[in-house]
Chains A and B, each alone.
Chain A
Amino acid sequence: MIEAHQLRKCFKIYKSKKGTLGSMLSLFSGEYEEKNAVDSISFKINEGEFVGYIGPNGAGKSTTIKMLSGILHPTSGKVTVLGIDPQKHRKKLAQRIGIVFGQRTQLWWDLPVKDSFEILKHMYKIEDRAYQKFLKHYDDLLDIGQFLHTPVRKLSLGQRMRADLAAAMIHNPPVLFLDEPTIGLDIVAKHKIRDFLQEMNKAEKKTVILTTHDMDDIEQLCSRVIVINQGRKILDGTLEKLRTHIGLPSILTVTYEYLPKPNELEGIERAECTGRKCTIVYDRSKISSPVLLREISKWGTPLDIQMTEPDIEEVIQNIY
């Protein structure tokens, strides 16, 4: 359904970037460095899959998504999405995919959400009945009804993201590209969005590609993970495979009332105590958080507990 074959995107980085003439001259003089933002990436994604596309900043995630959707032209290689060549038939493809960029809204900033939807309705040539159904359906799923008449600029980040997601679904596309849809959101908002995405994938059988920095997004949503670093694919498989490959060390910091007595425990990789404060590094695939919490409370009476999620950047670095 989505296929990339030996996909490569090479950016030319000109030596002198300042000023019009400067970049013009360097254009002609040909003095530039070449950098492969995406380097011979191949994958095949089947209908109904939920794929997490992850990697550190600048790894080429967005560049890949933009090539899949026809925004960028690959330097070499081949892409097909739903049997369509995104570069040759960009507009045709746009009618069949939904895209959300978390960093940037695609709604009309000064207009009420509803007006944006109506514009999109005309843009995608959607029938009145289908449109009414859409409004009803997404009010159920995302509660967009409560801010339908508010200008986009007055929405909270979470509301805006829900509106953006609904907007991307207006033409009921079978494929969704989501570029960091949970970035900057609070926990409650993230939950709402995850539930929604799960619903889209499970109930409506949509194929989703998601880039994110949030490990929870991946754990809760993705059936498959593709990891890239510096433009190259370094892992492609199930979440289990990612886990066994790198482990998912989480960190718990506990402050006790009195000096604690730590015990060895299956799943705890490391426990360092200085005075009343303990830092515990554990593997979530081997020990669940509630079990761990129960165990460590046997060490003493905890006053304060802080949990630090594994940082995706570090995780990816660990693979190397």
Chain B
Amino acid sequence: MKLYIKLVSASIRSRMQYKMNFIFSMVSYGVIMMIDFVLLAAILNRFGQIKGWNIYEVGILYAISSISLSLYRTLAPELHEFEKYIIEGEFDSLLIRPVSPLVLLLSKNLDLSRIGGILQGILILCLSLYGLSQEQELIYIAAYLPVILVCGCAISYSLALFTATLAFWTQRIKDFQTFTLYAPFNAANYPMNIYPGWLKMIFFTVIPVAFINYVPMLYLLQKGGSLYFLLLPIFVAALFFYVSLKFWNYGIQFYHSTGT
């Protein structure tokens, strides 16, 4: 842990040389994501609700999904850009250390500009909770949110790890990321019950984004969930993290570094 802090602070120090750029990108990430939600709000404002979910409830789903993804993008930008390590053969330099390459990747960089996305999520979350506070008790939601967010971040990290592992065979992973991260997380911004069966199947199994927000919120917003729905995200996150880690450790032996 001490090593992690040491490494991370080193990376921040080296990034801080480009301050203006940092502020600009932080603001623009936040604004872009915000506008997306404003459009959704415009629709819902006109049509009332979406399959039984009102604007505030969708807002909570939306916020959890985008905070989870932004947390992952803030903490693990190097895993997200993993293909460059494979293409340029830089992965070598992670493998010669007495520390796991995943820890080194995590500590190599923090993408603080993604905090814009987190702030935007928190803003939407607060607005939504405020809107809901007229109707129902929110103490349980607020108390359980940290757990949900940690699980959400873990699930997105696991998905990203799984995708990154593919690079040991395919070198490039950008196209897969659209498939395994961007599209599913965009879908998870909205309640799962609006999707056709086959899409739901995907989001409940192979790309389990439904557990990030939809499943626990079914119970917390009293939409017909049971109490154990609260435990499912923890279980799914742990399972997927374990599977991804196994896959990564399996894939690593297929790494063929580009010879110098």
- Which A residues are within 8 Å of any B CB, using their own CB? 11, 19-21, 23-24, 27, 37, 58, 62-63, 66, 69-73, 87, 90-92, 94-95, 99, 101-104, 106, 108-111, 115, 118-119, 122-124, 179-180
Contact = CB atoms under 8 A, between A and B. Distances in A.
A70 B225 CA distance: 49
A-B complex: 8 closest residue pairs judged by Cβ atoms: A110-B14, A94-B98, A73-B253, A95-B98, A71-B95, A103-B260, A122-B3, A99-B96
Contacts of B174: 20
B170 interface: yes
A111 B98 contact: no
Given A66-B92, A87-B253, A122-B2, A180 B97 contact: no
A43 to B, nearest CB: 20
B6 interface: yes
A221 B113 CA distance: 50
A101 B260 contact: yes
Interface in B27-51: none
B123 interface: no
B83 to A, nearest CB: 10
Interface in B55-97: 89-90, 92-93, 95-97
Interface in B4-32: 6-7, 10, 13-15, 17
Contact of B96 (A20, A94, A115): A94
Contact of A104 (B2, B15, B93, B175): B93
20 contacts: A20-B170, A23-B169, A23-B170, A66-B92, A70-B95, A71-B255, A71-B257, A91-B100, A92-B98, A101-B92, A103-B260, A104-B89, A110-B14, A110-B15, A110-B17, A119-B6, A119-B7, A122-B6, A123-B97, A123-B98
A72 B91 CA distance: 11
A46 B259 CA distance: 27
Contacts of B98: 91-92, 94-95, 123-124
A111 B170 contact: no
B96 A62 contact: no
Contacts of A119: 3, 6-7, 10
A11 B13 CA distance: 40
Interface of B: 2-3, 6-7, 10, 13-15, 17, 89-90, 92-93, 95-100, 169-176, 253-257, 259-260
A113 to B, nearest CB: 12
Nearest to B108: A108
Contacts, number: 89
B3 A111 contact: no
Given A20-B176, A111-B10, A111-B13, A63 B170 contact: no
B172 A63 contact: no
Given A92-B98, A95-B98, A122-B6, A109 B257 contact: no
A185 to B, nearest CB: 16
B249 to A, nearest CB: 11
B17 A118 contact: no
Contacts of A108: 10, 14
A37 B96 contact: no
Contacts of B175: 20-21
A264 B114 CA distance: 76
A27 B253 contact: no
Contacts of B255: 71-73
B95 A101 contact: no
A92 B99 CA distance: 9
Given A106-B93, A119-B7, A66 B257 contact: yes
A101 B174 CA distance: 28
Contacts of A118: 6
A195 B258 CA distance: 31
A58 to B, nearest CB: 7
A24 B169 CA distance: 8
A87 B2 CA distance: 27
Contacts of A102: 260
Contacts of B259: 37, 58, 62-63
B260 A27 contact: no
B256 A101 contact: no
A278 B131 CA distance: 94
A13 to B, nearest CB: 10
Contacts of A122: 2-3, 6
A185 B169 CA distance: 35
Contact of A27 (B10, B15, B170): B170
A106 B259 CA distance: 16
Contacts of A179: 260
Nearest to A152: B14
A62 B170 contact: no
Contact of B99 (A58, A91, A109): A91
Nearest to B5: A122
Given A20-B173, A66-B257, 11 more contacts: A19-B172, A62-B259, A71-B255, A73-B254, A92-B98, A94-B98, A101-B92, A104-B93, A111-B10, A111-B13, A119-B10
Given A91-B98, A103-B260, A20 B172 contact: yes
A98 to B, nearest CB: 9
